[in-house]
Amino acid sequence: MENLEKQLICPICLEMFTKPVVILPCQHNLCRKCANDVFQAANPYLPTRSGSLTSGGRFRCPSCRHEVVLDRHGVYGLQRNLLVENIIDMFKQESGSSRPAQERKEETPMCDVHEDERINIYCVTHGVPTCSMCKVFGAHKDCEVAALDSVYQTKRVRTLISQNQRSKGRRQKTKVCEKFDQLYSMLEGKKRDMSQKVTAEQEEKVNYIQGLTKKYGDHLEESCKIVERGIQTLDETEMALFLQNAKDLLKKMEEASSTAHLDKVEHGYEKMDHYKVNFRRERQALSSIDFIRDDDGEDEEDVDAGAAEGARTVSGGAASSASPAPPNTPQQIDSSLSPTTS
């Protein structure tokens, strides 16, 4: 079988003959397609019909260099070697019986109209693959055709490019969404921290006012008891007993009338206006968000690292310089960071 296969190798494509196989006057065989390629290479300026079918001309046999003269039908006027074609069919059938079914399915399909012709060209006009005979004598003789392999490679490349573009587009969209999610996370964290600061001072003030209210209530209740005791003392008819209790009662009434020992709330203590924000610069920065060019500035990771380091430095400085505010005075906020309400 190996020796037979060697005899069925085309001297041009160095593969097994593909039908139709033509026999030259010198009795050597060629694939018709290979014969056409050799002819066109030997006659580059000879007019052709529809880009593939040549008329007249001559070329030399690649095996013995015998000159082959063609008639007006070109290589299609050469006689087909049906014997070689039948041998090829039997060889393929014999060798194909031992091949896996999937490998046999990958063989080139044959033309439905010309059963002996392989589908080897592509009709650009109708957008369907067809055979050479359909182009010469059949339904596609007036159509524009192209090499099947060329069309396949072109369409495959286009498909791969399209898939690659869609895949890259999806990846870039995912990256953009991830960056925005990081911004959302940073904003949510900053919102949470600032809200906690306001809530902490609010609760501190409320607790302080509630405690102070209780102290004033207790003082008022004690004063009422002293007043009631004074009224009872005034009703005392026994002079000795009255004089005995009057001095102590007057001292307690004097103490009850004084509130010097109680804390006093300063004016404006209840206000929270010192927590002001101005996001004008931040809004401008957000509105200017856009894609960057490859030659733009620093890498984003370097910028993020620098920003984080700067934030830690500012936070550390604020923590070291700020002193705890007394409970009856409002906490002061850096006006340079929050000058106005927006």
Q: Is the dihedral of CA 83, 85, 89, 91 positive or negative?
A: positive
The reply to whether the predicted model has a pTM over 0.75 is no
DSSP H/E element including 128? strand 128-130
Domain boundary among 292, 310, 329: 292
Residue matched to tokens 């990771």 = 301
Residue 162 falls within a domain, yes or no? yes
Regarding whether 160 and 88 lie in a shared domain, the answer is no
| Radius of gyration in angstroms for the set of CA atoms belonging to the chain, rounded to a whole number | 51
Regarding whether 162 and 68 lie in a shared domain, the answer is no
Q: What angle do CA 316, 318, 322 make, to 5 degrees?
A: 125
Residue 164 falls within a domain, yes or no? yes
> Which pLDDT belongs to residue 45?
67
Residue 128 falls within a domain, yes or no? no
DSSP letter string over 295-312?
Answer: TSSS-HHHHHHHHHHHHH
Residue 249 falls within a domain, yes or no? yes
Domain span including residue 85: 2-107
Regarding whether 187 and 102 lie in a shared domain, the answer is no
Regarding whether 185 and 99 lie in a shared domain, the answer is no
Regarding whether 247 and 161 lie in a shared domain, the answer is yes
CA distance 235 to 246: 12
Domain boundary among 277, 292, 307: 292
Residue 83 falls within a domain, yes or no? yes
Which of 20, 138, 16, 15 lies closest to 79 in space, CA to CA?
20
CA distance 25 to 67: 9
Strand partners, 291: none
> Number of folded domains in the chain?
2
- CATH classification at residue 57: 3.30.40.10
Tell me which range, 63-77, 98-112, 299-313, 325-339, is most confidently predicted by mean pLDDT: 63-77
Domain boundary among 72, 107, 142: 107
Residue 304 falls within a domain, yes or no? no
Regarding whether 260 and 162 lie in a shared domain, the answer is yes
Residue 59 burial (CB count, 10 A): 21
Q: Is the dihedral of CA 95, 97, 98, 99 positive or negative?
A: positive
Regarding whether 191 and 264 lie in a shared domain, the answer is yes
Regarding whether 161 and 96 lie in a shared domain, the answer is no
> Which pLDDT belongs to residue 198?
92
* Structure tokens given for 271: 């206000």
pLDDT tens sequence across 252-299: 777 777 776 777 777 888 888 888 889 999 999 989 988 887 655 555
CA distance 266 to 290: 50
Regarding whether 178 and 49 lie in a shared domain, the answer is no
What type of residue sits at position 217? G
Regarding whether 98 and 162 lie in a shared domain, the answer is no
Residue 138 falls within a domain, yes or no? no
* Structure tokens given for 186: 């940073």
pLDDT at 189 over 90: yes
Residue 301 falls within a domain, yes or no? no
